[in-house]
Structure 1
């Protein structure tokens, strides 16, 4: 080969250099082992993380955190057909609804008297602490539902009732029961009550009891 031909063959433009670099990169990528490629690595990492999450979740205490919420939700579904007089459980408490009363539009006397926007409905429940520590019933975490699916939160005017201390700053010790605890709701006068959802706290899954 003549010197003129050698010099001509070695001359490369910047475009040629970039094209050669891309070709080299593609070649190295094609030779890379399958387990180092992103399309295999990313799904593999996701599978490992999901498996670890399942293991950690399955080993958690059913009485705390996410495990408790899942357990409470399952309990609620299993006991959705419960009625007045049927014991049901949520978290640390076992509830038994005793009766439902139409309390009228006014409750209490003197400075503690309260007037409803519509009318008051009073649901009385027995509450047993089935846990290992003292626990306080939060009246305002309880909810009532009507036949239209509307949700009513318990009101704080229960303080006007003579036995309000049963649900106000009153700890229930393990194994003990508070009877006829009053849960008060302010609802429309023409409401058709359907069910109550009872909670051991505002964070629990709750359990439903039919009031029909």
Structure 2
């Protein structure tokens, strides 16, 4: 094994001197090559010289710094946040062309009533797994729902802090133009009546194993899309939970009993 060079100032590829800490290059550069300190350091034994730092090394360091930036500083997340903000503004300043309340599609064992508070698809009278409810021109059908301590597989695996509730949902846009659907338009309502948003780590782990996610999806008219929603809820609070769906560009909510 070759001996590492002692800490000191050494020539860099850009004509300046850079500080070697005895193990790796640092970001400290000497602005005046030829100083007494530099001359002393450069006189270190030839057999213990550190590797020359090239422009390729500098580019690699820059690429690494870019890749390890916090998620909120990356352009793709900034764009997503801008889309969400714009959607919220539009939703707040415009009304939907639909009734603003849920409508059951096809046969439903839940039945309907004249009272809006007890209407089929409302919180007090949710539809069931396998039934389709329409809200603001979008149809929602829960195919299945389950509880599991982990999601993902060998390479993408995530453990719940409580328990994961995994919902397989089919969404179909019945309007005449493309709509944007976000998983943030859904909430899991636990038995303590608290609302939970989708868990990003659990969603990424599921997507890594091939499951389709609803993190940001453009819904074309009459083209159903099926994906996975993952929620991390406290143990013991999943049983009897509901799925709440809403619309970015309209009002009202629809509710589905997940049968947990």
TM-score (normalizing by structure 2)? 0.49
Distance 2:96 2:249 in 1: 13
Q: Is residue 159 of structure 1 aligned with residue 187 of structure 2? A: no
Distance 1:149 1:85, change over 3 A: same
- The answer to whether the 8 A contact 1:70-1:205 is kept is no
Output aligned runs, 1:44-59, within 5 Å: none
Which protein has the larger Cα radius of gyration, Structure 1 or Structure 2? 1
Aligned to 2:147: 102
Aligned to 1:140: 184
Tell me the secondary structure at the aligned position of residue 95 of structure 1: strand
Distance 1:202 1:150 in 2: 24
Distance 1:121 1:132 in 2: 33
Distance 1:210 1:143, change over 3 A: same
Name stretches of at least 5 consecutive residues in structure 2 with no aligned partner. Answer: 1-90, 104-115
In terms of fraction of residues, the more helix-rich structure is: 1
Q: Is residue 211 of structure 1 aligned with residue 258 of structure 2? A: yes
Aligned to 2:100: 72
Name stretches of at least 5 consecutive residues in structure 1 with no aligned partner. Answer: 1-62
* Alignment coverage as a number of residue pairs: 148
TM-score (normalizing by structure 1)? 0.59
- The answer to whether the 8 A contact 1:92-1:135 is kept is no
Aligned to 1:128: 172
Q: Is residue 177 of structure 1 aligned with residue 224 of structure 2? A: yes
Distance 1:198 1:163 in 2: 24
Could you tell me which of 198, 202, 206 is aligned with 2:245?
Answer: 198
Could you tell me which of 136, 145, 157 is aligned with 1:113?
Answer: 157
Tell me the secondary structure at the aligned position of residue 160 of structure 1: helix
Distance 1:131 1:70 in 2: 10
